[in-house]
Amino acid sequence: MKKTLLVAVLALIGSAAMAQSGSGFGIKAGLNYNKNGDLIGSVGDSGQDIVEGADGKTGYHVGFWGKLDFPKIYLRPELVYTKTKSSYDVDGDSQDYDVSKLDLPVLLGVKIVGPLHLFAGPAFQYTLKNDLENVEIEDVENEFTVGLNAGAGVNIGRLGFDIRYERGFSENEANFIGNNITDVSGRVDSRPSQVIFSLSLKL
């Protein structure tokens, strides 16, 4: 009886996982917890450098995905709009640094067992907008950059859930200046370092 029940449960999980396996496309959305690189600046005319590490904050993402499925592996490109947030202590005040970008991860996945799979691949990023609260900031040095995505996921029915880590390969700084001579001025590293939680639906 126990063996029959176990076989039935495994068959149910396997058939549910197959619903999002196979080539196809869908939509995705989720939350991301991001910390950008250091803020390096000086206060007024003193010229004394200050270095502030970012405090992580929660952002979000929405997008589309496609999938080419093979017996043991798959290729999954995605197009995602991402909004990241970090916070810095600038001249005694907490300032939010917001970045909006388009991400194009190209992921190679490996099927492990049942609905579980692992994946990794490059993420091509195009920065749309960056904003540091209460200070004047320039566009990032490089609007187009490359990073890395790596993570794991499960598929159940038409739904999929994955968790991944994204890291930019190189620094991508933006210069900023305060609104008067006593304010902080300097540069901030816009390179992402984030944990991403995603829910996907196969259409």
First to last CA, the chain: 37
Give the pLDDT of the chain (203 residues) as one tens digit per residue.
Answer: 545 544 444 443 343 344 456 789 999 999 999 887 777 766 655 555 666 677 788 999 999 999 999 989 999 999 999 999 888 876 667 778 888 999 999 999 999 988 899 999 999 999 898 888 777 787 777 889 999 999 999 999 899 999 999 998 877 777 777 665 446 677 777 788 899 999 999 99
User: What structural domains and CATH numbers belong to the chain?
Assistant: 2-202 (2.40.160.20)
DSSP 19: T
Alpha carbons 98 and 137: distance in angstroms, whole number: 11
Query: Are the C-beta atoms of 186 and 47 separated by less than 8 Å?
Result: no
CA angle in degrees (0–180, nearest 5) for 85-164-137: 20
Q: Mind listing the pLDDT tens digit for each residue in 3-37?
A: 554 444 444 334 334 445 678 999 999 999 988 77
DSSP 11: H
